[in-house]
Amino acid sequence: MDKLIVIKIGGNIVDDEAKLSSFLQDFAFVSGPKILIHGGGKVATKIGESLGIESKYVDGRRITDAATIDLVTMVYAGLINKKVIAQLQSLNCNAIGVTGADGNLIPANKRPVKEIDYGFVGDVKSDKINAQNWSSLLEHGFTPVVAPITHDGNGQLLNTNADTIAQEVAKAMSGLYEVSLIYSFEKAGVLLDANDDATVISKIDPSSYQELKAEGKIFAGMIPKLDNAFAALNSGVKKVVIGKAEQLKDLINGESGTSITNS
Ligand SMILES: Nc1ncnc2c1ncn2[C@@H]1O[C@H](COP(=O)(O)OP(=O)(O)O)[C@@H](O)[C@H]1O
Ligand SMILES: CC(=O)N[C@@H](CCC(=O)OP(=O)(O)O)C(=O)O
């Protein structure tokens, strides 16, 4: 099986032009088939503020009303995605920007309304991702760069968390490739003290995860990120690493960051 690297870049890097540029240079140098997933939640929140669109999150998911789905489509699929594509092209990486609607690459369902109405938020239909279509892009030498917008097949765009998209794409591709999933962000990994890069936990398994969560050492966005990491490992993804965007090469080589393991 060929190897495939699926890399998600965190929102604090996307929000920092210099850090994003430097990450993209390293990304362009990664050899072999690769897929980049980005979000841009911070940028959308800032642009939303300037347009009078308030951002509200419940359990790390943005409440996405009609104005907000337009906002995030413009920001993720437009501004951020196209800036990333142009930079990667300048680095001789033949990037192609996609959302889940393009080529029907990521079908989703609008999240059903229960206690919370999330609005136009999409839950990925995992079994409907066509790995062969993704693979055709890779085989033609393209590097897909994915904005976290999905669709319901009836003309409605949906907003889906970018960590989840990375997990779903990695999972779907693991039938065809030996997939490594890298969650890169502004910190050195999963930390014992979330404010101290010197406290990287080199390995996390399900039981240490539960302990660290119960002790309050893992919180906020790191909880869904780790849930996604374990979900990927449990569905055929070979390797999952969480770590610093500035250390992309070492993360890929397993020399830096936190490795997620099943045992
Ligand atoms: N133990 C931990 N180690 C590192 N970060 C943690 C930890 N617990 C919570 N966090 C928080 O999780 C955040 C990452 O989640 P999130 O913002 O969703 O990711 P991303 O930047 O990839 O979009 C970090 O910025 C940090 O504030
Ligand atoms: C439904 C939902 O919450 N979608 C996310 C998609 C962007 C994202 O995940 O961006 P980061 O990687 O920068 O956090 C949002 O709008 O914030």
Question: What's the per-residue H, E or C state across 72-97?
Answer: HHHHHHHHHHHHHHHHHHHCCCCEEE
* pTM above threshold 0.95: yes
Does 159 appear as a known binding residue? yes
Cβ 229 vs Cβ 181: under 8 Å: yes
Domain that holds residue 110: 3-260
Q: Is 218 in the pocket of ligand 1 (CB under 6 A)?
A: yes
52: domain CATH number? Answer: 3.40.1160.10
Atom of ligand 1 nearest to the CA of 162: 23
Q: Of ligand 2's atoms, which has the minimum distance to the CA of residue 118?
A: 1
Cβ-contact 120, 66 below 8 angstroms: yes
Number of domains in the chain: 1
Q: Is the CB of 11 under 6 A from ligand 1?
A: yes
Contacts with 226 (C-beta within 8 Å, 6 or more apart), sequence order = 190, 204, 209, 218, 242, 260
pLDDT score at 4: 98
Which tokens sit at 226? 């780790």
Residue 164, Cα to own-chain centre: how many angstroms?
6
**Helices 222-233, 162-173: crossing angle, 10 deg rounding:** 10
Q: Which residue has the tokens 């099943």?
A: 262
Asked if 107 and 129 count as a contact pair (C-beta separation under 8 A), the reply is yes
> Which residues of the chain, if any, have pLDDT below 50?
none
Q: Is 61 flagged in the annotation as binding? A: no
Radius of gyration of the chain (CA): 17
| Distance, CA of 184 to CA of 164 (rounded, Å) | 14
Q: What pLDDT score does 263 carry?
A: 80
User: How many alpha carbons fall within 13 Å on the CB side of residue 92?
Assistant: 3
C-alpha torsion 206→131→255→234, nearest 10: 10
Of all protein residues, the one whose alpha carbon is nearest to atom 13 of ligand 1 is 221
Task: Give the position of tokens 């050899």.
Answer: 31
Q: Do the Cβ atoms of 35 and 135 come closer than 8 Å?
A: no
Nearest CA to ligand 1 atom 8: 218
- 19 CB less than 6 Å from ligand 1? no
If one residue of 185, 199, 203 were mutated to test the ligand 1 pocket, choosing by the most ligand atoms within 8 A of its CB, it would be 185
Contact call for residues 138 and 188 (beta carbons, < 8 A) = no
234 is in an annotated binding site: no
Predicted pLDDT of residue 238 = 98
Q: What's residue 202's pLDDT?
A: 97
| Cα(156) to centroid(ligand 1), Å | 30
- Of 159, 163, 164, 165, the one to substitute when testing ligand 2's pocket (max ligand atoms within 8 A of C-beta) is 159
64 DSSP 8-state letter = B
- On whether the CB atoms of residues 108 and 124 are closer than 8 A, the answer is yes
